[in-house]
């Protein structure tokens, strides 16, 4: 009696494929393995924050650091061979005829059982949702009280985006980080019009450069026929699993 053909295994988002996606998006990356089993939230999440670290480099060019924490996981809470990635990218933008730098730094966790097509095919909706959150953040910036008398002493407001994706559910929020003082509701931060334009330009860079680059890379990884084209190169012999580390307590 002839045996029924075995259905092909569903492709997974492996470290090699994630590395290819990051490289195609313009990100540098380094990966380490977190051995053992870990409990991760189902689905994907991202936390993005900037405004709290604005410095000038040796040439006097202003530099804004954008920090992010990203989780990409499948539908299982308990996973093993989790990989942790440090990814980065440098860009430039202009606000008020001033050219400044944007340094993106992200800590990314990849669960070990992440269906490739399930996550990547839903990425367009996720990136569209992030663009909406960025637009909301720009609207918040435009509504802040400004006083140009603050001059160079004014700080860029600390801005934050949080988003979570699980199945068809997408939730998120964006706004200005305001620390309560003595249990009281914090006052709306005041800044200068130039600092507001600096924040808006940073948001523009994220929405118009970074997210489109990620989307193009996702489409390249999936391929025109919605099948993954990036080959599995090193997982079989484990050579892709490099240095091993232990996850910090905050990430376990």
Tens of pLDDT, residue by residue, the chain (252 residues): 555 554 445 677 888 888 999 999 999 999 998 888 888 888 899 999 999 888 888 888 999 999 999 999 888 888 888 999 999 999 999 998 889 999 999 999 998 888 776 666 567 788 889 999 999 999 999 998 888 777 666 778 899 999 998 877 889 999 998 765 565 665 667 788 888 999 999 999 999 999 999 988 887 776 655 444 444 333 333 333 333 333 333 333
Q: Report which of 160, 201, 136 is spatially closest to residue 68, judged by C-alpha positions.
A: 160
Quote the pLDDT of residue 180: 59
| Any domain includes 76 | yes
Quote the pLDDT of residue 85: 94
User: Are the C-beta atoms of residues 102 and 205 closer than 8 Å to each other?
Assistant: yes
| Any domain includes 240 | no
- Looking at residue 69, the DSSP 8-state letter turns out to be E
Quote the pLDDT of residue 38: 84
| Any domain includes 3 | no
In the chain, the number of structural domains is: 1
| Any domain includes 8 | no
Residue 75, phi then psi, degrees to nearest 5? -100, 5
- CA distances, 55 to each of 9, 103, 176 (Å): 49, 11, 20
| Any domain includes 106 | yes
Burial of 35 (0-12, 13-18, 19+ CB in 10 A): middle
Other CB atoms within a 10 A radius of the CB of residue 13 amount to 25
Burial of 93 (0-12, 13-18, 19+ CB in 10 A): buried
| Any domain includes 154 | yes
| Any domain includes 239 | no
Q: Which residues contact 106 (CB under 8 A, 6 or more apart)?
A: 67, 68, 69, 70, 85, 86, 87, 88
> Which residues constitute the domain of residue 90?
15-180+187-227
Q: How far apart are CA 198 and CA 189, in angstroms?
A: 16
User: Are the C-beta atoms of residues 110 and 15 closer than 8 Å to each other?
Assistant: yes
Instruction: Write down the pTM of the prediction.
Output: 0.79
| Any domain includes 249 | no
Rg (alpha carbons) of the chain, rounded to whole number: 21
């Amino acid at each position: 009696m002839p045996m029924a053909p075995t259905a092909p295994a569903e492709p997974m988002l492996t470290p090699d494929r994630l590395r290819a996606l990051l490289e195609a998006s313009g990100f540098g990356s380094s990966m380490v393995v977190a051995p053992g089993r870990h409990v991760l939230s189902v689905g994907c999440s991202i936390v993005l924050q900037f405004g709290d670290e604005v410095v000038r480099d040796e040439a006097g060019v202003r530099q804004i650091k954008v920090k992010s924490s990203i989780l990409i996981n499948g539908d299982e809470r308990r996973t093993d061979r989790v990989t942790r990635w440090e990814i980065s990218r440098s860009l430039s933008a202009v606000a008020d005829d001033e050219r400044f730098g944007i340094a993106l730094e992200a800590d990314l966790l990849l669960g070990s059982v992440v269906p490739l097509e399930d996550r990547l095919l839903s990425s367009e909706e996720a990136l569209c949702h992030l663009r909406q959150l960025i637009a909301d953040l720009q609207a918040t910036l435009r509504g802040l009280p400004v006083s140009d008398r603050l001059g160079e002493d004014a700080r860029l407001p600390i801005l934050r985006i949080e988003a979570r994706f699980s199945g068809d559910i997408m939730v998120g929020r964006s706004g200005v980080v305001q620390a309560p003082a003595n249990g009281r509701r914090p006052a709306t931060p005041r800044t200068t019009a130039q600092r507001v334009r600096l924040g808006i330009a940073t948001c523009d860079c994220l929405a118009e450069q970074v997210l489109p680059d990620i989307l193009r890379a996702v489409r390249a990884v999936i391929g025109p026929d919605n099948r993954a084209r990036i080959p599995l190169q090193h997982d079989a012999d484990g050579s892709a699993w490099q240095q091993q580390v232990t996850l910090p307590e905050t990430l376990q």
